[in-house]
Chains A and B, each alone.
Chain A
């Protein structure tokens, strides 16, 4: 049911919203309509709840500042998703950079990516196996229901690149899932042996 509501929020497609010329003028309405969608998209890319909330705020702040430029584009949804994806990827880049800093040696390591992934569900684990760019394409395709052309327009990349990224992402997710299955099987086997 929640899924149905989410789909209805988005409309049948991103292009449908192009028929609403005054959507950006009513920015509060835009926020109310898309905040959940944007939050979940970002959450699917960064895989971190609190960070996703901050990045959602940042996305709408950026959108608000650049709302005069949006008039030239076709759809507010595509425009917002483009900002959201760029914000998320920038955030992940910053995080990656922060991980390389030597201060981490003094603060101590937290859970490794693998350990964190262990605690996640199957879908999150599959997404965690992808690079941020692949994750963005997967979320826009499988969650937002965008076509390849829509994703290409949203991210500003050629449709061929979208297709290749989707193919690579599927391959990685399959592999991640297969590894998970193997680990589970070997874990079960070990437990049986100890008994």
Chain B
């Protein structure tokens, strides 16, 4: 086959050209990215982080909504609800004290905290707490006579912030 001027030895030309290329930063050894990723032990951080975020959000919301007292009350109630009822999921009974105004009302310092359910404490208003009362709890609570005026200490009402806190605790427990 006769070659023209513009038809050189292509193979020779291309080979000599490409063989002259030497990679500068191509590693001599192959380290796969996949194995590098697998080497790191996987920790279930995501559910933990979500639970923590929910708890923090709940606390922040409680603090903003009702001030430091409300925050303290939320924490106390969470602790008590964890001790008394492990899974508080029941819906609260509707009560006239469920309004936000009542929840934010100031509490006298000489009076026991609203969340405390000790036998020595005076019986709270006949309002169901955030969780359904267990048999042990119901025995402690004596039904109070109906009052026309509001009691000075409001009963623990399931405000959204408390519900958020409880939800966070549940998430934490499940994770």
Given contacts A41-B18, A123-B14, A174-B4, 11 further A-B contacts (CB under 8 A): A2-B19, A28-B30, A31-B30, A35-B23, A36-B23, A52-B21, A64-B34, A122-B8, A123-B13, A123-B17, A127-B14
**Interchain CB contact under 8 A, B21 and A40:** yes
Say whether B46 faces chain A, with CB atoms less than 8 Å apart: no
The 5 closest A-B pairs by CB, nearest first: A31-B30, A123-B17, A178-B6, A142-B11, A177-B6
**Interchain CB contact under 8 A, B19 and A170:** no
Q: Which of A121, A122, A143 contacts B15 (CB 8 A)?
A: A143
Say whether A139 faces chain B, with CB atoms less than 8 Å apart: yes
**Interchain CB contact under 8 A, B33 and A61:** yes
**Interchain CB contact under 8 A, B30 and A121:** no
B contact residues around A127 at 8 Å (CB): 14
Say whether A76 faces chain B, with CB atoms less than 8 Å apart: no
Q: What per-residue 1/0 map shows which CB atoms of A140-177 lie under 8 Å from chain B?
A: 01110100000000000000000000000010011101
Q: What per-residue 1/0 map shows which CB atoms of A9-48 lie under 8 Å from chain B?
A: 0000000000000000001100110011001110110000
A126 to B11, CA, bound (A): 12
A contact residues around B19 at 8 Å (CB): 2-3, 6, 40
Say whether A49 faces chain B, with CB atoms less than 8 Å apart: yes
A84 nearest CB across to chain B (Å): 13
A44 to B20, CA, bound (A): 11
Q: How many residues of B contact A (CB 8 A)?
A: 26
Q: A36-B23, A174-B7, A178-B6 are in contact. Are A27 and B18 (CB under 8 A)?
A: no
Chain A interface bracket (under 10, 10 to 19, 20 to 34, 35 or more): 35 or more
B69 nearest CB across to chain A (Å): 56
A2 to B19, CA, bound (A): 7
**Interchain CB contact under 8 A, A139 and B23:** no
Say whether A87 faces chain B, with CB atoms less than 8 Å apart: no
Q: A28-B30, A56-B26 are in contact. Are A39 and B21 (CB under 8 A)?
A: yes
Interface of chain B residues 23 through 57 with chain A (CB within 8 A): 23-26, 28-30, 32-34
**Interchain CB contact under 8 A, A142 and B30:** no
**Interchain CB contact under 8 A, A142 and B25:** no
A contact residues around B7 at 8 Å (CB): 170, 174, 177
A contact residues around B5 at 8 Å (CB): 181
Q: A32-B29, A181-B5 are in contact. Are A3 and B24 (CB under 8 A)?
A: no
Say whether A86 faces chain B, with CB atoms less than 8 Å apart: no
A174 to B3, CA, bound (A): 11
**Interchain CB contact under 8 A, A28 and B10:** no
Q: What per-residue 1/0 map shows which CB atoms of A64-93 lie under 8 Å from chain B?
A: 110000000000000000000000000000
**Interchain CB contact under 8 A, A39 and B26:** yes
